A and B are shown apart, each in its own frame.
Chain A
Amino acid sequence: MTTLYTQKATIAAPAAHIPDANQLALCLGESSADDQTFTTANYQDADGNLYAVCSTTAKPIFAEKASQPLQAPNHAPGVDLEAATRAQALLQINGGIATPDVIAVILSARTESAQDHIAVLGLTLREIVRL
Chain B
Amino acid sequence: MTVINNADAVYLGVTAVDRVYVGSERLWPAFSPVELFANSEQGAWYDPSDLSTLFQDAAGTVPVTADGDPVGRMLDKSGNGNHASQTVSGSRPVYRTDGVLHWLELDGVDDILLSDFITLTGTRCGASIAALWDNDMLNVKADGTGFADFTFRLSGNNFSVYQSAPQRTDQASTITARTSGGVSVVTAIASESDAKTWQNGVEQGSRTTGAFLDFDSQDQPQRISLFSRVAGGFSSGSFYGAVVSLGYVESQKDQVEAYLANLAGVTL
Contacts and interface: CB of A to CB of B under 8 A. Distances in A.
Contacts of A31: 57-58, 72, 87-89
Interface stretch (A36-44, A78-86, A91-99): A36-44
Interface residues of A, number: 31
Given A40-B232, A114-B236, A130-B147, A54 B90 contact: yes
A61 B62 CA distance: 19
A67 interface: no
Contacts of B70: 5, 56-57
Main secondary structure on B side of the interface with A: loop
Contacts of A46: none
A115 interface: yes
A25 B90 CA distance: 9
A118 interface: yes
A33 to B, nearest CB: 4
Given A31-B87, A34-B88, A54 B109 contact: yes
Interface of A: 1-6, 10-11, 25, 29-34, 36-37, 40, 42, 53-57, 110, 113-115, 118, 128, 130
Given A54-B110, A55-B90, A130-B147, 8 more contacts: A3-B69, A4-B69, A30-B57, A32-B87, A34-B90, A56-B70, A114-B109, A115-B236
Report, nearest first, the 3 A-B pairs whose CB atoms are least far apart.
A3-B68, A33-B87, A1-B66
